[in-house]
Every structure is written in C-alpha cells, then in structure tokens.
Amino acid sequence: MMEQLEVLAPAGGWESLEAAVFAGADAVYLGGPAFGARANAKNFTREELARAAAFCHGRGVRLHVTVNTLLKDQELPQALEFVAFLCSLPVDAVLVQDMGLFSLLRQRAPGLPLHCSTQMSLRTPAGVRLLWELGARRAVLAREMSLSEMEEVRGACPIELEAFVHGALCMCVSGQCYLSAMLGGRSGNRGMCAQPCRLPFAAPGGTGHDLSLKDLSLLEEARQLGAAGICSLKIEGRMKRPEYVAAAVSACRHAVDQGAIPAQLAQDLEAVFSRSGFTKGYLTGKRGAAMFGVRRKEDVTQATEKVFAQLRGLYRGERQRVAIALELGEEGDQAVLLARDREGREAKVRAPLEAGDRPSLPQERCLQQLHKTGGTPFLVEAAAAPAEGIRLAVSALNALRREALLALLAQRERREPVPFAAKAMDTVPHPRPGWERLPVRACFRGPDQMPPQARRCREIALPLTTPVKDLERLGEEGWPPILLELPRAMFGAEERIRGLMEERMAGGFLDFTCGNLGAVALCRELGARAHGTFSLNIANTPALGFFQELGLKSAECSFELTGRELEALGGSLPRGAMVYGRQALMLTRNCPLANSPKGCLGCKSPGCLTDRKRKRFPVVCARLDGELLAAELLNSVPLWLGDREDRLGNMDFGVFRFTVENPVESGQVLEAFFRQEPLGCDYTRGLFQRGVE
C-alpha cells in the first residue's frame, strides 16, 4: 500500500510546479486560463500547460488539470474545447465538478480519466459507487469525513480515492457554500470565493470568528490513510507560494517513505502558513471549539526570510527519480550508448571511437562516469560497459551520456493524445408548462409548522425522520402528496437512512428529495422516486439531462442562476426554482455555535450568528437519532420571488422553503403568494437578477 500512495501537490504557477516536482511530488494538479476552482491563482496559459505536461511526464510525474467549476449553458462549448486541448497534450486526468460536463466528457472522451472533485460533496459509499459505475476513475472525498467513514467508502467499489492531508479547511462542505455568492456575487462554486467566512461572524459565547477553522494537517496519518484505502494524499494550496508547496510536499514525502517528518521541517511548514496551528478534528471525530482558529500575528511573523531561504533549498535542483539502465558498447568504429527506462522507452546514441593506439578507458571508470546523472531527473539503477574498456576520452563519454539522457527525456515527454470526439450539443427547448399560477412545492421542518394554506400547494416536503404515523395521518386528512427529504449531509449514516427509507416505502411513501449524489444513489438502489433539490447544483441543460437519465422525476435548479438563465434551460425534465425561503449559505459538519466554552449547546430551536454589520444569520441543526449530521447557516433575510411569476414561466414549480418560520408566518407567506399581495417583511431577490461571477 505504501508503494501506491501518491503525493499530490498544488501548483498555482510555474515556480510552484518546479517546487512540487523537485521536492518529490508524484502528481501535480493545476488550473488553466478558466474553469478552475481557484480563479485567482496565477494559473497556466495553454502554452504553459503544454510545457507543464512535457515537464511532468519527462520526470514520471502525473499532471491533473482542474475544470471543476459549475458551468452555464453558454460556457459549455468553450469548456469542451479546452478539455479537447488537454486531451491533445495529453494530461493524466481532468478534475470536474459539474455533472453536465461530466456526462458530456464521458461521451466525447471515454478514454480520459475523470476525477470527481470534492466540490461534488462525495461522502457516502452509495454516492461514490454511483460515480464509479458512471465511469469516474477517482473520487476526491469530502474533508469532513472520519477515517472509518473513508474505510466504508473504500469497501463499496474499486474507484481510486483521494483525500486532503494538508492545507486550508473550509467551514462549509465543499460544493455547498453559497456565502460568497450571496453576500458579494462571487461564487465559490465558480472559483471566485472571496472568503467572507474569515470575517467576523459571532456565535453566543464564541470567539467572534466562528466560521473560521484551523488549517488541516493529516501528514502524520499518511500511512493510516493508505491502510484505509486512500491512494492519493492531496495538499491544498494553489494560492500559496512555492516555499509552502515544497515544504508540504517534502513533509508528506517523509511521512510516506519514512513514516516520520523531521522536526525542523515540520516547524518550518507551520511557520510558512497556519491558522492558530493545525487540526485533525474530522478524521478523529473530535469536533468542536478546538477546531476553530484564525490567522494570528504570530502565525505571520514566524515566516521569516531565513525560513523561506531554507525551504527554497528543497527545490533548488532536479530530483533524481526516474530509474534507468545504461549500456555502453561498440559497433564497428563507433561507441554506442543505450539508455532504457522501466517503461521500455529506449534512446541510442553514437560517437566515433578514438583512433590510433590510445589506451582504452577502463570499465570501472566507464561505469563511474555513466552514473554521473546529476542535474537530470535520471537515476542509474543498472549500468554496463565492455570488460576491456572502450577507446573514448572521458569528455567524449560524458557528452555521449548527456546526449542519451536528453534523447530519452524527449521520448518520455511525448505521449499519445487521448481521442476526443467533437460533437454538436443538442439542446431541445423546454416546453412551456402552461400553468395559470405557479404550482408550489412547500418544504417544512415538521408537520407542526404546516399552516392551513399549505393545502393549496401541489405537494409538501417533510423530513425523512417524520414519524410514519404522522405521515399516515396527513394522508387521511387529505393534505397534498408528501415528498420525504433525505438529509443533505449523510456522513456515516447511509445504512440508517436506507432503513428509514425502506420503512416509509413499505407504508406507501415513495417520493424523496435528494440534495446529494448519495441520496440519488439510494433512491436508484431502492426503486424510490427521486426529486432533486438546489444542492445538486444543477446549472445547465446537460446536467438536467444527466439527472433525468439517473431517474430523477423533477429537479430544483441552482439558485445561483438568474431568471434569464433559468428560462433558457432546455430539456424535458420538470424543473423548479426557489421562490421563498432563507437560502442555505453553508452546510457544515462542525456547528459554528459549538465554538464556545460549553461546546455543542444541543439547541432546541435555531440559534444565530451575527456579522460585523449586526445582521443575524440563523443556524439550523439536522440530527438523526440525536446525532448531529450537519448544521445549516441560513441567510439573514428570505428570498422572495412570489411577485415574479412572469419571470418564472419556464419553471414547472416553485419551491417555498420554511425553516425558522412558525405556522402563522408560514401561512402569511403562502397567503401573500396566492393572493398576489406584498410579502410584508424584509426580503432579498438573491441572485435572480444580479447573478454571480
């Protein structure tokens, strides 16, 4: 297992790429000019990408390129053309988030290894198994998973598993953060996160920075992760400087190869970047206040020029990592040197033998010179020379060796392109629903929140944990059809959720809402009817088609789309948009309200965070059998599009999501919609008009 462990490094620019490779990375991930989740990194031009592919392949390092943002319909042709370029280099893998792009690439480039980004919120065996069945090569697991949860996923299918081992730790589950988008119009799902979570957000009794976690460091657990089935150890940091990259790679390399990190290197790594030190919280399951931290003055000042200078020594020159064999011989009046790597590539070069009675260069000296490959990526593991020596000057033999190594390096840099089939995108316009009033799907946290006005809705969504007797009572009383909401976070709870689904399906409740791929997978496995929610991040027509092929009966589109973008979506899958509700800004496994001396407060009702402008953001916890699955941070005011039906004409239904409202307030909202009256409270239009970057 240790031989298979891959050290995967970030590269935000060329110097960081060299730092990663020379410090010992097995693979590097980086972004191109667009469509990467770190749009503010320096990133690579197409010319630099071609050079990077040759540089990495020559040295036996794999190159992964990120195309891992959500894409809108008008961006897909450019994204496909960019991936076609990557196939021509070729790169070793493309990292994706958008399910529409994923499905298009499986059709156009079936030979291209696709790695599923952590932005897909991959955290359950069923969800990862589904991606494997659909053709994914690798899944990047959520940072919030424990070691036992990773082991459980490993047992589900033979897909490669990648896990983060060092770097920044977001408060929110990747792919489920809308805080930057809602507060500033810069979407984290599109690589533009402004990191507002690092600003003051205060919980009662907290530190005042209660959305800011310490950085992650699982380097000491590298071998444990390998034993649990992780094949790739991922270092975060495409925005960080080369010295950090080199330090993190070197530390990870030591952890994998020797099982321990030199004390000075560990100290230097913490000096170049940390937030109040590091945490292992999610891996061990020890969540709470100890995981929170900010970038302090002492964290900044310990990164001295002396430390940086020392770390630059880690990548000052080539790392001899490519094992080769060299064989020196004679053919007629020429000396011949054959260089061969382990993959079978060969380079043969020649030089004239010395004329006259010049003494032969002894075999021992020949072998000595052949092993001098410093300044190149090659390490001679076997060398042969004639027993009687060879008539060459030392300088001529050195030149022959250099020529052979350059020729072999050039061979290694060239790879066959991955076939890519260019096809036109077929987009069928979505038929206009033809309703007089937008049908309503109303989502409640429980039956006691439902007002009489909810009887006028087309359907009602309630939590999966709603007791069966209550569901049966609602059916007997003639309420609208009921959909059961599967948890947005399913960490370690898949089998319990499966059991609850089977119990409710036995009672005739067959419709479930799904906010993650794991939930979709469970519905497919159990034969239930699945309906997608906003957190599937459906942002384009191919994504709608992809989920329709998976069996979804309806889907709620991403609320990062504008009205015009929603209206332009094609395909036949019934779709909806959120019309009312406090939009979920974060989904977090470590509740921000737990950053207090008392830890988790076990809130009976939603708590709040307060920002620097004194706005209050509710926090709602989701529990299963008393265990916290996740906490949702909600917007300070609700979204309201109830008076914009004219802009929702392409939607088949509108979603009203009630979270902190009591039954009276819920009824007032529905009444305002049905009567076409003003809402009567503060609200936001969200991103419906202004959109996101």
Are the beta carbons of 532 and 555 closer than 8 angstroms? yes
What mean pLDDT comes out for the span 279-305? 87
> Which spans in 527-657 are helix H?
541-549, 563-568
CB atoms within 10 A of CB 682: 9
Say if CB 664 and CB 451 are below 8 A apart: yes
Of 26-40, 65-79, 293-307, the range with the highest mean pLDDT is 65-79
- What is the per-residue pLDDT for 549? 98
Helix axes 242-257, 14-23, angle to 10 degrees: 20
Position 3 pLDDT exceeds 60 = no
Distance of alpha carbon 545 from alpha carbon 98, whole angstroms: 12
- Which pLDDT tens digit goes with each residue over 619-650? 999 999 989 999 999 999 999 999 999 999 99
Instruction: Flag whether pLDDT at 232 surpasses 50.
Output: yes
Average pLDDT over residues 139-146: 97
pLDDT higher at 302 or 59: 59
Q: What's the rounded Cα separation, in Å, for the pair 198 and 211? A: 7
Q: Which whole number is the average pLDDT over 562-574?
A: 96
Average pLDDT, integer, range 405-423 = 97
**Backbone phi, psi, residue 352, to 5°:** -65, 140
| DSSP structure string for 409-452 | HHHHH--PPPP----PPP-PBPPP---SS--EEEE-SSGGG--G
Distances (CA, A) of 564 to 73, 390, 408, 643: 12, 77, 55, 16
- C-alpha–C-alpha distance, residues 81 and 76, integer Å: 9
Q: Are 253 and 267 in contact (CB under 8 A)?
A: no
Structure confidence at residue 231 (pLDDT): 97
pLDDT at 403 over 70: yes
pLDDT bucket at 76, cuts 50 / 70 / 90:
very high
- Assess contact for 244 and 237: CB atoms under 8 A: yes
Helix/strand/coil for 320: coil
Q: In the predicted model, what is the mean pLDDT of the chain?
A: 95
Q: Report, as an integer, the average pLDDT of 120-137.
A: 97
Residue 118 φ/ψ, nearest 5 degrees: -60, -20
Helices 494-506 and 468-476 cross at an angle (nearest 10°) of: 30
pLDDT of the residue at 478: 97
Burial class (CB in 10 A: 0-12, 13-18, 19+), 430: buried
**Spatial contact of 523 and 534, defined as CB atoms under 8 Å apart:** no
Residue 1 has pLDDT above 60, yes or no: no
What pLDDT does residue 595 have?
87
SS3 state at 369: helix
Sequence-distant (6+) residues with CB within 8 A of 665 are none
Q: Band the pLDDT of 598: cuts 50, 70, 90.
A: confident
Q: Is the pLDDT of residue 399 over 50?
A: yes
Is the per-residue pLDDT at 389 higher than 90? yes
Query: How far apart, in whole angstroms, are the C-alpha atoms of residue 544 and residue 574?
Result: 9
Q: Please report the pLDDT score of residue 246 as a whole number.
A: 97
End-to-end CA distance of the chain: 42
Mean pLDDT of 343-365: 92
- Which amino acid, one-letter code, is at 100? G
Q: Is the pLDDT of residue 579 over 50?
A: yes
Pairing state of beta strands 584-588 and 6-10? unpaired
- What secondary structure does DSSP assign to 492-533, as a single string? T-HHHHHHHHHHHHHTT--EEEESSHHHHHHHHHHT-EEEE-
Report the pLDDT value the prediction gives residue 355, as an integer from 0 to 100: 85
Where does the pLDDT of residue 2 fall: very low under 50, low under 70, confident under 90, or very high at 90 and above? very low
**Quick check: 486 and 513 in contact, CB under 8 A?**
yes
